[in-house]
Structure formats: C-alpha cells, structure tokens
Structure 1
C-alpha cells in the first residue's frame, strides 16, 4: 500500500536524517532495503520502521558486490557518509549509475558534497548556526538556544532529501535520466528561513534571539509560564484573535503592533498568566484567543484531537501526510538484519553460499 508502492530504495545504514528520509519513503509504500553492518543494533524504533533490514559488511569485497547487485535493480539509494566514502567503497555514483542509468542517488551530508567545509564534522547545531537560523532562536538578552535537532537534521536534512528523492524519481518516470541528489543540511536549514529572508529584505527583521514578532518579541506570539509550572503558547496575531486574547486577560487591546510597548505588555501578560494553572487557562479562553497548552510527548499522544486523528501510532508519530486514495500502511517495526537471508535468496544466493558468507562475517 501507499503512493510509492513499486519503488525500491536501497538505504545504506546511518543515523538521523538519512534514516528519516528513508522512513518517509517507506511509510508511503516504497520498498526500502536497509544495509546495516552485521551485528548492528539500530532498530527497532520509529526511524527504522517499515524496512527490510539486512546485515552486510561493506568492507568485504563480497559485501560490496551484494550492495552493488541490489542497486542494479533499485530505483534509488540513500547514503549519509562523508563525501568520498562511497567512492572508496566502490559504490560511488559513477559506478552505480554506470550499472543502472535510471538510479536516483541520494546523498545526505551536513555541508554538501563540495566546498571548504565538505570534509568537516558537524551536527545540527553547527549547520543551523552557519545557515543563520540559530541566531534568532532563544530569549531576548541571552545566547541562542538549540532547538533540539529538528531544523538541521530533520526539517532541512531528512525531509528535504525525501522531497529531492521523490522529485528525481518522478523525473525518471517522466523520461529524465537518473542523477545524484546532493542534500546538505546547512542548505536545507537555510531554505526553511525563506520567509524570514523576505522580512529582512522588507526591513522587518532584527538580528538576535527573541527580537522578532515570530520569535518571542511580541506579547501575543510567545509562551508564558503558569501557576502550576505548566506553560501556554499564545499565537493571537490577527486583530480578532488578539481581541479575544486581551479580553480573556482583562486587558485593553490598544496598540497591538506598537513594538515599543511590547516589553511592558509582555510583563503584564506574564504576571497575569502566572496566577492560574495551565489547564485552567485553556478552559478559560475561547478558541479564538489562540491559546494552547504546551504538551509533553505523553500528553500530546493522549490529547483528544491527536487521538481522533490518530496522529500517533503506538509510541511514535504516524505517517504523514495523508493520501485519500493510497493511504500509508500501519507502521511496522524493523529488526536489525531480519531480512538478510530472504533478500540474498532473491538475488540468487543459495543456502550454502549464504551460510559461507555468514561464517566469513560478510553478512549477519
């Protein structure tokens, strides 16, 4: 089932954004064969779901040949090594596209395949720092705050690679040749800030944490602590929503967009929100005030709206988006290496050869 049913992807095992991209493709019907090192303990968890995981040692010549054979009959691959690693293994684009000219070769890195930082190590926080995003995240007057690893690894990385893979796969279906998809987390993170760059061009952007309307400077778009230690999120931007917010707080609504008055009004709002518990405030406001509880993971999974929409499946988010005619299959846990024998049998390996490869440590 799924809109990508019939697509085969070979995933070279990694962590974070590459597996996230593969998970998205697998969630929507692609057959994803994940190549892991023998003895790997990647799964089971959400990023490993819906895979046919096999254990293959790519440092062994016969392991490389197994991977190459799989790629000859695949629609795409995903790899997340540093630039040059796949080439040194004998599995670079020149080799695999030579075998299979229709192959979409997806590459996930922090900095991209070339450039001064291409071989430099890094993590999400480094990528979003150089992309300009980190500067604006945090409380005014303090240093920027790391927003977990959502923006670089997953938004600017894995999701962008999934989009790139799907675009290139569609291109092949329309007659284009196979090609390399060079997805860099730093560039994807920069792309996520496109609207903010528009604000900057219009003279509506200030550098620094918490300095802009959507980063906490405005009293009507930020979070507030409550009496019980809980937090509410306020997003009352439009005039009618702001009117509902200030009515619920017992405040006047004059001068909503007077930025000079924002600090004082924020202080007043904060003092008022501190007088009641989080859920008491949620019950107090009308929906038009755009006030929501800041939920933990467990609370989010139990929230009535998320339950009604089946937003979560078991202990993880369910596949998204939703397709009316070709819905995604329910997520299925994937165990490390569980498909090794069946996948090799599909390549024509008989039982004695599989046993010999296992004895040599080439597969697991």
Structure 2
C-alpha cells in the first residue's frame, strides 16, 4: 500500500520517550526510521523494566518497525561516516542538551551544509536558547515550571504526581510531530529545510488553556484542586464507590447533571449545586459511596450522562468499544513473544494494516545493511 511518508528517511538520535514516540508515529505512517544508538549497550530505554527474557517492553513498543545502527558519536570521522545517510535524509530528530550536537559536528549548521533540505528537529526541556536552556529536568519539572502542576497536585502534605507524562508527550512528542509535518509541507513550497526548536516546558502550556485565560489574562488566583475543572464543582470530579472504585462524574451541562441526579436520587434541594457546592458534593459522595461500582455502572451507562467508572489500563485494553475500533489490532514482538503494539493516533488508512507482528530492531541489526555500524 502507499503511505503518506513512504519516501521519507528519518535519522533518529533521540532516546527514551519524546523523540522515539514522534519517530514511531513517522514510521507508522511509512517513513524509514534509522536509530543511531551507542555501541554495546544501545539507548537507555533498552534497560527499562518490565522485560520479557531480558528485553525491554517499553523499548519494543516505542521502536516498532525502526532500524538500528550502532555508532560512537564521539569517534573521529563520525560525520564522514554518516555522510551518505545525512545527504539522503529528510528528517533528523535529536534530544541532546543544546550544543551537544554542535560539539559532535552534527549540529544544524553542519548538517545543513551537507543537506540544505534537511528538517532538523531538536527536542529539549527548555529550548535551545534562554536562561534555562541547559537546565536538567524531567516531565514533573517542566509541568511545574509551566504552572500546570499547581492546578491539581493533591494535598500539601501528600501531593500527587501527575497521572501522565504531559510535557514529554504533549509538550515534546506531539509538537515535534506537528512541526515536522508542517516543515515537510513548507519544504514542498520552498525546497528549504528548517531547524525546529521544540521545548517541552513550553508545549505544556496548551494543556491548561483555561488556566491561561483565567490565571494569566484575567489575573484570577487558581487554587490547587479548587477550580471548576479540578474539583471545585460537584458535577465535575471523582467520587469513590463502596468498593473503592472511582466514579468519574463529568456532568457539566445541566441536562447531564439532572440525569445523573436522577440516577443517584439526589434530593431536589441539593440539585442546584451553585447554592452550596460542599453540601452537594458531600451528599453525592455519600450516595455513590453506599454501593459498589458494579451497581452504578449499568445505571450510569443507561442514563448517558457523562459519568463512568474509571478503568485500569488492563480493563481499558479489553473494552469492547476499543476492540470494535481496532485500537489494539497492531502487534509487535518481544523476545519472540507477540504483544500489543502501542496505540497511537495515526489514522488507520495511513498505516500498514495489521498483519504479522512488526518488531523493534535488535541493537545494531542494520549495521551490515548500511555498512557503517560499530560494535565496540
């Protein structure tokens, strides 16, 4: 089949999550993605748990369908070694701190001299410039600096970690992918490449657009866990059922709220939650907490009121709805064992159809193919 990116070559110098997930999506859309990994050990994700027969599942699902060559980027003559691939490449993705690729002779200016049409994507925590450009950090630091973590981080004496990697994926992977595709479109018009400066901390801002409107533009204070979207409203928060399972109540609109109130038989005096949010929340909690999730789930489903039982990842993977849409149809393999590939938001018509499991590459698997790999 013809895929949108089946004529695109990507050199992937990135590691761990943001860059590899972006290049995974490019690969799923047909691009040839070649990972440049250090000899002997490979990239750090190969070491992460859980594993099957010593092979990382995390690495396998993030690098499905890619190729791997091993190369010591600090070795003398590395640029000349890579020159044949650099000259043919359409995209380079790197995730080092600012200046590292320049010191290796692989910075944007050096690559552009060899390939003026190259789209060079740099993913960092804080960007290529600015006072924090060389500061070390991880997802929690980036969402903390972007003000996002302050919106709902749990009690002061027992704060809750973010439930997902907002900055890594939302601030790194997705902006990288979007801007790479925009740069490809721009190159179609001009013939020129681009250097994309992707800063994960900056990318996190968009995930709290309402906080920008309220806290930055309007200048209103937003307390931890006390905004309309972070728990202040009775009709938009989580409540425990009798068995400890959580009920996600998202009945913001009045028609959904009233339908939910009917399900739990909330007294009329408390249905206008604007009068006394605390009193309404307390009674909703009492009623939902009186019976297990198995009691509430069919009733809430029948009411169709934006209220659901929170699923575990395993339960979600077995959901009949996702199965019907083929979300988990694609497979990969780890140490010869077939496992479900990572669901990614690439439309099925742009991906190769599910068939035999497509594996991640063994370390240096394509060294011989390209004739430039190193093992030591």
- Whether the TM-score (by the shorter chain) exceeds 0.5 is yes
SS in structure 2 at match of 1:6: coil
Q: 1:63 to 1:113 in 2, by over 3 A?
A: same
**Aligned 8 A contact 1:124 1:149 in 2:** no
Aligned-pair distance for 1:241? 0.8
CA distance in 2, matches of 1:73, 1:148: 40
Q: How does 1:168-207 map to 2 (within 5 A)?
A: 168-200=183-215, 203=218, 206-207=221-222
Q: 1:4 to 1:195 in 2, by over 3 A?
A: farther
Matched, 1:67 2:82: yes
RMSD: 2.3
> Which residue of 347, 352, 358 maps to 1:332?
358
**Aligned 8 A contact 2:261 2:271 in 1:** no
Match of 1:315 in 2: 340
Match of 1:295 in 2: 311
1:194-234: per-residue Cα shift (whole Å, max 9, x none)?
A: 23312446759642221111111111111111111211211
TM-score by length of 2: 0.85
More deviation in 61-70 or 278-287?
61-70
Total equivalences in the alignment = 348
- Unpaired runs of at least 5, structure 2: 47-55, 331-338
SS in structure 2 at match of 1:61: coil
Q: 1:217 to 1:141 in 2, by over 3 A?
A: farther
Q: 1:155 to 1:118 in 2, by over 3 A?
A: same
TM-score by length of 1: 0.88
CA distance in 2, matches of 1:94, 1:317: 35
Match of 2:13 in 1: 12
Match of 1:218 in 2: 233
More deviation in 172-181 or 326-335?
326-335
More deviation in 54-63 or 75-84?
54-63
CA distance in 1, matches of 2:221, 2:215: 8
Match of 1:37 in 2: 38
CA distance in 2, matches of 1:29, 1:174: 22
Match of 1:120 in 2: 135
**Aligned 8 A contact 2:28 2:352 in 1:** yes
CA distance in 2, matches of 1:257, 1:210: 21
**Aligned 8 A contact 2:29 2:346 in 1:** no
Aligned-pair distance for 1:293? 1.7
